[in-house]
């Protein structure tokens, strides 16, 4: 079947499983949409456009939900059921209850058995326990933040931000970078971090070796965690082929590489980009991205799937749209931080197309 015609319809009573499936399918290059099971009953549900419907961990099927499912069991549409579909409803457990609905006869038996599970590799998400499995979902998050350009902290919430752990000082992560020169400034961000498909957390940071309060020259890099924030390591610094790269934003590309989009103090007044195969070490020499103006201020970049996308999704960049001089100093031109613009690339950042936002929007 042509991948451009294939979409997935998902329903899950386990939000974590759905989240993990969606991450993997987003990398597969096949477009899909996500709905709740009861959406199939809604009059405006666009079921005609779907050839394949995948039900994820749909163990509970209420009579109302069954009505919605039967509504679309026609026109050669393919239904894919995972796990023990339809074995539960408001009357209890019965593997045979929805045999006609799902088209399969399920059975079960009670027995005592010792089960040994071996997961390879050992670093797989499933081998790390419940906290690792849930990290990165809406219910579990762990931001990194700094204080006074001197200390960096990690904090975590496992209930969607309702409560937070005590901040944990992780400033020691910069120690490998300060062996040759003392660091007089350390800062996380500005902006978001990302979790790679492997589960690795990538936090962009920048450091400065000049005496305070001077923050120039400075150097961009990343810190990372492979155990969902339990421990942190220093990654690589960006090579200094473009002066004072800082305030980086990461995005994982379809081939697994990580791209850093960098503010910088270079004369071209364009954003710079650098690449790493694993998102942590061996960053490439930064190069100017001539399609992205940079008045030396922060910008943001993410990868996002839009309904109907074919392939790995789009790269969306948000920053200043054009360079507009503001005032002049000897040997220096300052540009306005205005005309906020979205740029969208369908080929992993190669050719971003501008979409200006309403006039008067500013970036800082």
Residues written for the chain: 364
**Distance in angstroms (rounded) separating the CA atoms of residues 276 and 19:** 26
- Closest of 303, 295, 335 to residue 319, by C-alpha: 295
Residue-level pLDDT at 4: 31
Look at the block and give the residue holding tokens 């058995």.
113
CA 301 to the chain's CA centroid: 11
- Beta pairing, strands 233-237 & 300-304: unpaired
Residue-level pLDDT at 260: 94
**Distance in angstroms (rounded) separating the CA atoms of residues 179 and 236:** 14
Question: What domains lie within the chain, and their CATH numbers?
Answer: 3-102 (3.40.50.880), 127-356 (2.120.10.10)
**Distance in angstroms (rounded) separating the CA atoms of residues 81 and 37:** 13
Q: The whole model's pTM is what? A: 0.60
**Distance in angstroms (rounded) separating the CA atoms of residues 205 and 42:** 46
Cβ atoms within 10 Å, residue 154: 22
Residue-level pLDDT at 322: 75
What's the number of CA atoms in the CB half-sphere (13 Å) around residue 185?
A: 20
Q: Which two tokens stand for residue 184?
A: 């007089």
- Using CA atoms, how far residue 157 sits from 23, 117, 140, 142, 224, in Å, is 21, 29, 6, 6, 18
346: burial class by Cβ within 10 Å (0-12, 13-18, 19+)? middle
DSSP letter (8 states) at residue 362: B
- Closest of 58, 51, 17, 60 to residue 33, by C-alpha: 51
- Each of the 364 residues of the chain gets a pLDDT tens digit; together they read 233 333 333 333 445 566 667 777 777 667 788 888 888 888 888 888 888 888 887 888 888 888 889 999 988 888 888 777 888 766 777 777 788 888 877 776 666 666 555 555 555 554 555 454 445 555 567 888 888 888 999 998 887 778 889 999 999 999 998 876 788 888 888 888 998 888 899 999 999 877 766 777 888 999 999 988 889 999 999 998 998 999 999 999 888 899 999 999 888 889 999 999 999 999 999 999 988 888 888 899 988 876 666 666 788 888 887 776 666 555 556 777 777 888 888 766 564 555 554 444 444 4
Q: Which two tokens stand for residue 17?
A: 């499983």
């Amino acid at each position: 079947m042509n991948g451009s015609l294939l979409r997935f319809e998902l329903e899950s009573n386990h939000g974590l499983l759905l989240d993990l499936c969606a991450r993997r399918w987003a990398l597969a290059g096949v477009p899909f949409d996500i709905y709740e099971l009861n959406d199939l009953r809604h009059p405006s549900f666009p079921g005609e456009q779907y050839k394949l419907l995948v039900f994820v961990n749909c163990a509970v099927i209420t009579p109302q939900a069954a009505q919605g499912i039967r509504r679309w069991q026609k026109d050669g549409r393919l239904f894919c059921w995972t796990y023990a579909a339809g074995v539960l409803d408001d009357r209890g457990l019965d593997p045979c209850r929805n045999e006609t609905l799902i088209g399969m006869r399920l059975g079960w038996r009670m027995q005592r058995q010792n089960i040994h599970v071996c997961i390879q590799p050992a670093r797989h998400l499933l081998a790390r326990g419940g906290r690792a499995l849930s990290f990165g979902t809406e219910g579990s998050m762990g931001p990194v933040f700094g204080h006074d350009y001197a200390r960096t902290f990690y904090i975590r919430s496992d209930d969607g931000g309702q409560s937070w752990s005590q901040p944990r000082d992780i400033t020691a992560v910069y120690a490998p970078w300060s062996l040759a020169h003392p660091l007089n400034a350390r800062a996380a961000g500005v902006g978001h971090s990302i979790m790679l498909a492997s589960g690795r957390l990538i936090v962009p940071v920048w450091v400065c070796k000049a005496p305070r309060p001077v923050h120039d020259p400075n150097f961009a890099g990343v810190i990372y965690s492979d155990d969902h924030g339990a421990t942190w390591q220093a990654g690589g610094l960006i090579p200094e082929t473009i002066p004072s790269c800082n305030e980086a934003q990461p995005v994982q590309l379809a081939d697994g590489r990580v791209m850093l989009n960098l503010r910088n103090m270079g004369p071209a007044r364009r954003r710079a980009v650098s690449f790493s195969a694993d998102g942590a070490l061996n960053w490439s020499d930064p190069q100017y991205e001539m399609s992205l103006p940079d008045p030396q201020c922060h910008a943001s970049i993410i990868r996002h799937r839009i309904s109907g996308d074919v392939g790995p999704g789009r790269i969306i960049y948000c920053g200043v749209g054009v360079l507009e001089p503001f005032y002049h100093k000897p040997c220096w031109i300052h540009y306005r931080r205005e005309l906020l613009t979205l740029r969208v690339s369908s080929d992993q950042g190669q050719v971003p197309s501008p979409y200006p936002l309403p006039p008067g929007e500013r970036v800082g």
